[in-house]
Chain A
Amino acid sequence: MQIYLPIAEVSVNIFLILGMGGGVGFLSGLFGVGGGFLMTPLLIFIGIPPAVAVATEANQIVASSVSGVLAHWKRGNVDFKMGAALLVGGVVGSTLGVWLFTLLRELGQIDLVIKLSYVIFLGIIGSLMFGESLRALLRSKNKVPPKRRQHYWIHGLPFKVRFKHSKVYISALLPIAIGMLVGILSAIMGVGGGFVMVPAMIYLLGMPTSVVVGTSLFQIIFVTANVTILQSVNNFAVDVVLAILLLIGAVIGAQFGARAGAKLGGEQLRILLALMVLGVCVKIALDLTLEPNDIYTIGQAGGH
């Protein structure tokens, strides 16, 4: 059954979109990630214009983050003070990101920047995650306790604030800077940015893992909401019909994924996730480096 998307201006199969939402939702439930980094490339692959894919995915992530944060909130795993600091940076960063997105779109370089950002960030995060999980697996066999709370130069930054819930005493500039970087990525890549924020919170801020996911989801809600509104105003690129179809699939898929995830071990899950992240990274890197079918392409058509 085909449905014509009013903003994307293409006709797509409803079941394909629901299936994609379900599949990515399953993986996001399984691994506890947003799934934007999988969904946005998939949407572009099936012929949704990149600008619409990025903007609409931001809208869908709002829904999945709200759903996720409620569960963490109930268990008291959201540090609102830290979330607020991340959010300040996030709003600035995402506003800057949407502005950059609009500019790059006019210059005809947005596709390249989207793809390069994917290759760089997925490559770094995937490799780090893979290495870390391997080491953790080996550690658990050798029973060597991990080292924590090392002192870096970042602990010497000014404006130190005590974040009681996260049990850290750090400069407020740090979460603001992290939030800003993630906000830019969110606007350009159509992702929530959890895959960058979660490791940054653990390794740079030294937050306990229990509050990391809930706090990052809390920040992601507001940043992606900001991106959705700005993309609607600047680029008219949010397709609500597409977003609703995606989130129906994603919500159902995520429930099954979460159940399946409970049966698998944490370290195995992280290795699988790392492999998947690296897989997407390699696929996009090949797109960029292999000779395209046609070196001539048509850009965004303008007025008369």
Chain B
Amino acid sequence: MKMQKYISAIIALTMGAMFLAPSPKAAEPGYIDIDLSKPEVELTASFDGAELLLFGIHNPGTDVIIVVRGPGLDTPVRRKERVAGVWVNSDEIIFKDVPTFYSTASTLPPSKILSAKILKRYEIGVENLNLEIENSTVSKDEIKLFSDGLIRNMTNVDLYGSDVSKIIKVGKQLFRTNLWFPSNVSVGDYTVTTHLVKDGNIINTKATNIVVHKVGIEAGIYNFAHDYALLYGILAVIIAVVSGWTANAAFRKG
């Protein structure tokens, strides 16, 4: 983790040095460019969340909003009801293509630099996520209750957050921020969208990708469990039998 911070700092410094000389390009209105310290998050055996450094260059006098979105999945949300004194799942709504991760970062709070309408259109902030369902027989109020429940649940486990980190401006043209990925992130392709904001409008947008994937023994075990499920199960039993036998033998001597 510390090592990663050092590397981030070195990259930031190098990038800074490269950009310190006034870049003629960045002077163009609406110019923005970004890069990441690493385009991937590796889930290793010791994975406990990861931080990526995002840095970029933008036209002076503009603001920047970054939206990170995880892969989409159809997600059922269920409501509990009391039946004979016991809380039971009763109603269910399935939302389509719900991002498994969502976070934002910005130079100024988005609501201060963009209108509610634009925030909604560009899905900036968890409350502006466009959560859709398949059948439209459910009333709007009902959908709102369920989608609020979904956002609440995702926020509680740190998978959703609005404006969780601040973008730091370095000089007139440079900016950087740390993107945080908690230990419970899903694997898949993540998109990082950077909006350039001027005078209450989004004047340019740049997107890049981050791949979150299991590596090493984690990937090996996971893939084996899915590709050779029967063999995996049998091996799990063999490991257990051998361990039990060994424990018994060790205890007899001891």
Contacts and interface: CB of A to CB of B under 8 A. Distances in A.
Interface of A: 1-4, 6-7, 9-11, 59-60, 62-68, 70-71, 108-109, 111-112, 116, 221, 225, 228-233, 236, 238, 240-241, 243-244, 247, 251, 254-255, 288-289, 291-292, 294-304
Given A6-B225, A233-B229, 9 more contacts: A3-B45, A7-B225, A10-B184, A68-B244, A108-B76, A240-B232, A240-B239, A243-B240, A298-B75
B110 to A, nearest CB: 25
Contacts of B92: 108, 299
Contacts of A240: 221, 232, 235-236, 239
A67 B153 contact: no
Contacts, number: 192
A43 B47 CA distance: 20
Interface in B145-170: 145-146, 148-150, 152-154, 156
A297 B78 contact: yes
Interface string B210-239: 000010011101100110011011111101
Nearest to A115: B86
Which 6 pairs across A and B sit closest by C-beta, in order of nearness? A296-B149, A66-B244, A232-B233, A229-B233, A299-B76, A11-B183
Contacts of A111: 89
A227 to B, nearest CB: 9
Contacts of B119: none
Nearest to A288: B86
Nearest to A59: B236
Given A108-B76, A109-B89, A294 B153 contact: yes
B184 A11 contact: yes
A121 B193 CA distance: 53
B28 interface: no
B79 interface: yes
Given A3-B46, A296-B79, A71 B229 contact: no
